[in-house]
């Protein structure tokens, strides 16, 4: 197995594998997941892989040349988990790690940036070849609330007039597949953002346009937005985190005018209107 993908059954991981299959033989792709049986639909080999279980990682990475380390979903445990993987990769003879970091990780005010900074430092200290994919915000993080906005008659948030240079998971998955299968990306860092930035007011206007309903944007104080998110069923910790990310967006944390993503995938990134259309179809 020459290319392995962690978190292969997750929302980003499975898309990466689908794009990899368009570029290399399926026999050279390995899906790594906590429950490998859930990877059957990917039609590639799969092995059990748990970031927190260091004792199982060496065997799981045997024969892997290039590893896509998709950042763990367990905020607060990521730095330690990622260090486990990096150490095991080095022992197993992995040649390069591609890591999904966060936009402008070195300077970001996002709360979650600390663990990404720690992981980037661990990669650079490991002596392994690396590629840092500093992924911008997923467009789906906000278009996923389109249905809630319609139900409430307004889109709520705490991002003010902050601009968001988002990209879809599909865009970012394709970029990962390109970097994993092409030469010339060793020890490179890419700031991956959408071609066009938008505000939450722009998102509300697009939802209004496509539904024919007046859905205004209502900017709320952080605590009030967190409470509103709890009110639609989100766990308290997640609601508080999402509200804090919105506040960071108001400070410019989710904005970038770089075009590395479009250059990597060889096409424009997915427009907001298309993402809203898709979200409304699934609502």
pTM: 0.95
Count of C-beta atoms within a 10 Å radius of residue 262 = 18
Cα 9 from Cα 30, distance rounded (Å): 12
Residue 126 has pLDDT above 70, yes or no: yes
**Domain span at 127:** 3-135
223 & 277 share domain: yes
130: left (phi over 0), alpha (psi -120 to 50) or beta: beta
User: Between β-strands 155-157 and 129-135, what pairing exists: parallel, antiparallel or unpaired?
Assistant: unpaired
* Per-residue pLDDT at 111: 87
Same domain, 31 and 125: yes
Does residue 162 share a domain with residue 102? no
Q: Dump pLDDT digits (tens) for 11-58.
A: 999 999 999 999 999 999 999 999 999 999 999 999 999 998 888 899
- Same-domain status, 117 and 158: no
**How many structural domains does the chain have?**
2
Residue pLDDT, tens place only, 170-216: 999 999 999 999 999 999 999 999 999 999 999 999 999 999 999 99
Same domain, 14 and 127: yes
Strand pairing report for 96-102 and 66-69: parallel
At 217, phi and psi to the nearest 5? -95, 130
Whether 125 and 155 map to the same domain: the answer is: no
Q: What residues contact residue 227 under an 8 Å CB cut-off, 6+ apart?
A: 239
**CATH number, residue 246:** 3.90.25.10
Same domain, 147 and 77: no
Are residue 155 and residue 281 in the same domain, yes or no?
yes
Residues in the chain: 283
């Amino acid at each position: 197995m020459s290319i392995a993908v962690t978190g292969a059954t997750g929302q980003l991981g499975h898309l990466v594998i689908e794009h990899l299959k368009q570029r290399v033989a399926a026999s050279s792709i390995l899906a790594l997941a906590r429950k490998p049986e859930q990877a059957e639909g990917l039609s590639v080999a799969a092995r059990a892989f748990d970031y927190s279980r260091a004792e199982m990682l060496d065997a799981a990475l045997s024969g892997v040349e290039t590893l896509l380390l998709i950042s763990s979903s367990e905020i607060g445990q990521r730095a330690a988990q990622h260090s486990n993987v990096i150490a095991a990769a080095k022992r197993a003879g992995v040649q390069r790690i591609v890591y999904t970091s966060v936009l402008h990780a070195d300077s970001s005010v996002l709360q979650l940036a600390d663990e990404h900074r720690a992981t980037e430092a661990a990669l650079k200290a490991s002596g392994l070849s690396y590629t840092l994919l500093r992924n911008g915000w997923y467009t789906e993080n906000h278009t996923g609330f389109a249905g809630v906005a319609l139900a409430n008659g307004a889109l709520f948030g705490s991002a003010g007039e902050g601009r968001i240079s988002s990209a879809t998971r599909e865009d970012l998955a394709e970029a990962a597949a390109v970097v994993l299968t092409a030469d010339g990306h060793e020890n490179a860092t890419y700031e991956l953002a959408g071609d066009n930035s938008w505000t939450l007011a722009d998102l509300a206007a697009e939802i209004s346009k496509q539904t024919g309903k007046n859905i205004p944007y209502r900017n709320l104080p952080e605590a009030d937005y967190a409470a509103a998110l709890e009110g639609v069923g989100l766990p308290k910790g997640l609601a508080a985190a999402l509200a804090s990310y919105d506040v960071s967006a108001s400070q410019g944390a989710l904005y970038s005018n770089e075009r590395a993503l479009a250059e990597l995938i060889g096409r424009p990134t997915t427009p907001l209107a298309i993402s809203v259309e898709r979200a409304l179809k699934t609502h």
